[in-house]
Amino acid sequence: MPPGASAALVDAIATGGAAAGLRVRRLVPLAAGPLEERLITVDQTNTSVVVGERVVVKWMRPATGGEVPGRAPHLLAHLAATGFTRTPTPYAAVYRDGAETGLAAVVTGFLPDAADGWDWCVDALLDQLDGGPPADLAGDLGVLAAELHCALATPSETIPAPVQVSHRDWAADGLAVLDQAHRLTAAADDDEAYWFAARVPRLAADIERSREVDRAYVIQPHGDLHVGQVLRWRGGLAVTDFDGNPTLAAPGGGPLTEPAARDVAQLRTSLLHVGQIANRRTEDRHRSAVTDWCERAGDELLAAYLRILDERGMAYLFDERLLRPFEVEQECRELCYAARFLPRWRYAPMGVLHGWYD
């Protein structure tokens, strides 16, 4: 985006003015304020600009095949309507051509001193390994995920019937991902590729356990819920980035609906990836302590999540029988992602799989 474009857009949203060539869907009122721009420089798929140190304009890359464009504004409008505030305030969605397929930007509140979980979670674990305070963060993540799911499952004018019953064959989806991961890792032709190939039957058996579930409640989930989507800022924890996972496209191109266990599996496995990052940074000096932390953190996250669902009368949303099949499938997705986009990341899902299958 050219310099000044983000500031001009924010000013138009706040004052009710027009944005040239764009259609603005206002979600939450935005007051006028300073308009200085600052680019967020971390690596990301889209481009984000901070305006006036209070608003973030996230300019979206064009949608590719299989994605559900416009998903984030739809969910953010729903969350705002249900009173969920643990996400950056959604001010507006901006479209290129007046159609939902032309999503150009999402405008949200800026959270001061925010750090994503790949920083604050990893730092907390490293501090613990260095003799600092315990990295007791998993329970808070479980509470956040449960509160998010309860909000997503609450009716609003945006999504009047957010909970459905599905009879999908999730095992078929997972086995297709496993086959893809097998082919992509085999191309490396190294010891890890041979190790993975030898364990494909065991991975397949775990994925096929989802066939024990012939019907499940589904919601429109976050879709890509990992610690990197959880910001720690002055006000606590907030979940962000509702664009979804392009590798989890909805059948038929409609709204993505999945069991709540999908998000939980993604979030729990991301804690295992935090452990793998810590092992790499400490050169495996604390492998036993990291393994213990990962096991405890996964249990604590799930316990806190289930407690909140039960307190809100929504325990029916979660079927634990889907959890391990979805976790195994998620690690296969991570291997596919590494093979296609970030080869140096392969060590993390492979490390998790070694922990499960060695």
Write out pLDDT tens, residues 179-226: 999 999 999 999 999 999 999 999 999 999 999 999 999 999 999 999
- As a whole number of angstroms, the distance between CA 11 and CA 31 comes to 9
> Of residues 251 and 97, which shows the higher confidence score?
97
User: Are 89 and 54 a contacting pair, CB within 8 Å?
Assistant: no
> In this predicted structure, what is the pLDDT of residue 184?
97
Look at residue 252 and tell me whether its pLDDT is greater than 70: no
pLDDT digits (tens, 9 = 90+) for 155-173: 999 999 999 999 999 999 9
Which value, to the nearest 10 degrees, does the dihedral of the CA atoms of residues 346, 352, 356, 358 take?
A: 60
> In this predicted structure, what is the pLDDT of residue 69?
55
* Domain 5-109 fold: Phosphorylase Kinase; domain 1 (3.30.200)
> In this predicted structure, what is the pLDDT of residue 161?
96
For the chain, which residues make up each domain, given as ranges? 5-109, 115-357
Predicted TM-score (pTM) of the model is 0.92
Radius of gyration (C-alpha) of the chain in whole angstroms: 21
DSSP 258-308: B-HHHHHHHHHHHHHHHHHHHHHHTTTTTHHHHHHHHHHHHHHHHHHHHHH
List the structure tokens of 123: 């730092």
Sorting pLDDT into bands at 50, 70 and 90, what band is 20?
confident
* Domain 115-357 fold: Aminoglycoside 3'-phosphotransferase; Chain: A, domain 2 (3.90.1200)
Question: At 58, which helix (H) or strand (E)?
Answer: strand 55-59
pLDDT digits (tens, 9 = 90+) for 63-114: 654 444 568 889 999 999 999 999 999 999 998 865 555 888 999 999 999 9
Q: Tokens 């504004």 label which residue?
A: 73
Task: Report the 10 Å Cβ neighbour count for 41.
Answer: 7
> Of residues 2 and 59, which shows the higher confidence score?
59
